[in-house]
Chain A
Amino acid sequence: NAGVTQTPKFQVLKTGQSMTLQCAQDMNHNSMYWYRQDPGMGLRLIYYSASEGTTDKGEVPNGYNVSRLNKREFSLRLESAAPSQTSVYFCASREGGEQYFGPGTRLTVT
């Protein structure tokens, strides 16, 4: 039982490049989330998916897109990376009220 997994762990992009961050959970949770964490700003919600087939914007969705591929997988795509998207990205899944986080992806955009 791996919980929430994320790939890759680290990534460096040049401005304008695109990439997809992958997230998967094996806990059969309905809800999944993408957050970014920046120093001094705490965790901010990018997008969430209440259930398979639905996605909704969070606090900071600009520059991102998401896909809830099935119940297990929720991916985050950066179409044209910008230096302001340098951050640590966490995926989480939710059971009842409690969220469980993946190990994170550290992204640097130069």
Chain B
Amino acid sequence: QKEVEQNSGPLSVPEGAIASLNCTYSDRVSQSFFWYRQYSGKSPELIMSIYSNGDKEDGRFTAQLNKASQYVSLLIRDSQPSDSATYLCAVNSGTYKYIFGTGTRLKVLA
């Protein structure tokens, strides 16, 4: 079983819709959770971090964490073609080690 799992996609949504990206993790002691956006040929860019159960909103982005169910999600409201990228989920267990998922490719259709 992979430690951090994401559906590889592509997830296709129309412009203006809500994109929902999901990530599950296996280590119950995981403490901090991150979403990165990676455009093709570029480096990962941190867009959200979340440390406690519930929702965290930042502009059009909302991260949701449910530690009991071991999943974290990212909602993108009013999706734009410029949001088309691969989204990486990363998990940290309080050490120096971060585990990354393989990413979900999002395509926003104009």
Contacts and interface: CB of A to CB of B under 8 A. Distances in A.
Contacts of B100: 42-44
A103 B43 contact: yes
The A contact surface, by secondary structure, is: strand
Contacts of A42: 4, 88, 100-103
Contacts of A31: 96
Given A97-B92, A98-B34, A45 B46 contact: no
- Size range of the interface on A? 20 to 34
B95 to A, nearest CB: 10
Contacts of B34: 97-99
B32 A97 contact: yes
A45 B97 contact: yes
Nearest to B36: A101
Nearest to A91: B43
A66 to B, nearest CB: 14
Given A97-B92, A98-B34, A43 B97 contact: no
B46 A56 contact: no
Nearest to A102: B43
B102 A101 contact: no
Interface of A: 31, 33, 40-45, 48, 50, 56, 58, 90, 94, 97-104
13 contacts: A40-B102, A43-B100, A48-B96, A58-B97, A97-B49, A97-B92, A98-B49, A99-B34, A99-B46, A101-B36, A101-B44, A102-B43, A104-B42
Given A42-B100, A50-B96, A98-B34, 5 more contacts: A41-B102, A48-B97, A97-B34, A97-B92, A104-B43
